[in-house]
Amino acid sequence: MKKLDWYILKRFLTTFFFMLMVIMLIAVVFDVSEKIDDFFKNSAPLSKILFDYYLNFVLYFSTLLSPLLIFISVIFFTSKLASNTEIVAVLAAGVSFQRMLLPYFIGATLLAGSALFLNHWLVPHANVTRLEFEEAYLRSPYRNYDRNIHRQVEPEKFVYFESYNAAKDIGYKFAYEVWEEGILRSKIIGDYARWDSLEQKWLVKNYQIRRYEGDEEFLEKGTDYLQSFNFTPADFERRIDSHTQAMDYAQLTAFINKSKDEGSEYVSYYKLELYNRTALPFSTYILTLIGVAVSSRKVRGGLGLHLAFGILIVFAFIMSMKVSAVYATNAGADPLLATWIPNIMFGVLAAYLYRVAPK
């Protein structure tokens, strides 16, 4: 690498980390002001606030916001280079625009590679601690308000609750069905099923068990039926938006496969979470190219105009992410395609801006 490469790379990384530090400091200040009453009300220890919550809070949001902050950083320091006529001097010295992009993409690769590792492995484990703190000191106890809960817990095995009380681990109007090649083989129903934490089994009250063998039906009735099933209270107590954040790549992949077998309605959401962990770091390259192409031209208005245009692109990028996510979860679109639609759209924009950029 030449001195020019080191110079641009140093400006790139120092600007990014400075902006990241400022944004995270502002975020922490606002978060403290919002949650300080809850900290005192629930007697949260200072050490847990600092190390269990805010340390992992900063790690999570730093990784989440890094592609957009990288984009703003590129625009900020490249615009200053352009306003100081440094880019004109570089191009006039015979350095091609493509060659000038090299240190930008080296920096983007370092940051995108770090984000991939953080997204898939480190941040999920850090989120475990952060979310446990939130459950203990910030959130009200979880209540499952779903009605007519019907899930496939294994291939050809289904559980049904009319409603479920997560605080008491009780599911009302319980039913459990076992099928074989499309034929119902057995069905258990009861007034309710309560989790017995000592026995680690379900206690079904006022139960009926129907078994079907050929054309014959066998009926068994009783008051108490203590039995282990292949589901636990944890399957009905999860906050959908939280527990996937606490799974690393291997855990989330296995969970998605399990959810498919169970017939979960949230599989698309889980896939979006998994695919976003790769698509968002990859967007670093696209946003870096857009940032350089936009801000490398010396124009009247300089930094202010470049930043205004950059912020407009950031909002458009975030909006496209939200729209594509809704498209996947509500319209049945392929989650993989929906996740990459923003990158495809802005990749086309990046190619156009690169083509018209000053060479």
Contact in structure between 302 and 76 (CB atoms under 8 Å): no
CATH topology of domain 147-237: SH3 type barrels. (2.30.30)
Tens-binned pLDDT, residue by residue, of the chain (359 aa): 688 889 999 999 999 999 999 999 999 999 999 999 999 998 999 999 999 999 999 999 999 999 999 999 999 999 888 888 888 888 888 888 888 999 999 999 999 999 999 999 999 999 999 988 988 888 766 566 667 888 888 888 899 999 888 878 899 999 999 998 888 999 999 999 999 999 999 999 999 999 998 888 899 999 999 999 988 887 777 655 557 889 999 999 998 988 887 777 788 989 999 999 999 999 999 999 999 998 887 766 667 788 888 888 888 998 998 888 888 877 778 999 999 999 999 999 999 989 887 66
Tokens found for residue 126: 């850090």
> What is the pLDDT, as a whole number, of residue 144?
61
> What is the pLDDT, as a whole number, of residue 108?
96
Collapsing DSSP states into helix, strand and coil, what is residue 282?
helix
DSSP label of 140: P
> What is the pLDDT, as a whole number, of residue 130?
93
> What is the pLDDT, as a whole number, of residue 230?
86
> What is the pLDDT, as a whole number, of residue 285?
96
Q: What pTM does this model have?
A: 0.80
pLDDT in tens, 241-263: 557 889 999 999 998 988 887 77
Helix boundaries (H) for the chain:
3-41, 46-47, 55-83, 86-92, 97-100, 102-117, 123-137, 240-243, 249-262, 267-295, 302-331, 335-356
Range(s) within the chain of domains with CATH label 2.30.30:
147-237
> What is the spatial distance between Cα 234 and Cα 258, in angstroms, rounded to a whole number?
14
> What is the spatial distance between Cα 65 and Cα 208, in angstroms, rounded to a whole number?
54
Selection from 230, 226, 176, 231 nearest residue 205 by Cα: 226
- The number of beta carbons lying within 10 Å of the beta carbon of residue 13 is 18
> What is the pLDDT, as a whole number, of residue 182?
85
> What is the spatial distance between Cα 213 and Cα 231, in angstroms, rounded to a whole number?
26
